[in-house]
Amino acid sequence: MAVVGLKMITAALVDENQKLIAGIEKGLSESGIYSVDEKDMGSKTANITGIEGTLVKIPGNNQIMDAYTGPASPSVAMDINNLAFLVAQKMLGYLADGKGGFAYTGTKPRVALLIETQTLDRKDSIFFGFGNGNVSSASQNIGTDTDTAQTREDDQLTYTALSTIAFGGEPIKKYFTGDKNYDSKTMMKEVFGGYTGDYGTASTTAPNTSPTNSTIAN
């Protein structure tokens, strides 16, 4: 099925048991759920690769007798227009020192991710869910403004999906609102580690303070 547009990216921090981390102090919002919406100027792209593993052929008697698919290894290249600074640092694993500085902890937080696109007729949504993974940002390009243009670089983040307990060990699960058995709350519970709310209903105000090394749990 063809898809059109990028409607929403939603993220949350989860713990080592892939359970949602809520609260402004440790999570991405009071509910734990953070939608990249108008406050972040939205997202441009979420390009997913590695949804399926490489097909491996099994030869025998000078013929191809069988084939199997290797494990999936999904990653998502995201281009977000203006992700809130403190939210980005939490997702990347940079903690505040209490003096305005942020340093990498040496351990990547676990992040759950949900990406929404739509069918061509815009009647239904297709979701790509990732219940466990890491976010990285390998570079930052900084350039001078000129007398005719502003030099801007969006937030370029890479998400690497890991095995998800709620998906039976798989790293990715798709959801389709056109299926008669689709249930929004079930999707949110599976992707976001037991979250009990519905899709799009959580308050996702960006935090205005960031936890320090002494106050955040590992």
Tell me the domain boundaries of the chain. 3-142+150-191
For the stretch 100-146, pLDDT in tens is 999 999 999 999 999 999 999 999 999 999 999 999 999 999 999 99
The answer on pLDDT for 93 being more than 70 is yes
Share of the chain above pLDDT 70, in %: 94
The whole-angstrom separation of Cα 44 and Cα 6 is 7
Residue 46: closest CA among 92, 105, 5, 101? 5
The band of 1, judged by pLDDT with boundaries at 50, 70 and 90, is confident
pLDDT-based confidence at residue 200 (cuts at 50, 70, 90): confident
pLDDT at 216: 41
Q: CA 87, CA 104: separation in Å to the nearest integer?
A: 14
> Per residue in 147-193, pLDDT tens?
999 999 999 999 999 999 999 999 999 999 999 999 999 999 999 99
Given a cut of 60, is residue 218 above it in pLDDT?
no
Q: What is the pLDDT of residue 211?
A: 57
Tell me the three state secondary structure of residue 71.
coil
How far is it, in rounded angstroms, from Cα 121 to Cα 57?
38
- Quick one: the chain helix, strand, coil %, rounded to 5? 10, 35, 55
Is residue 215 predicted with pLDDT exceeding 50? no
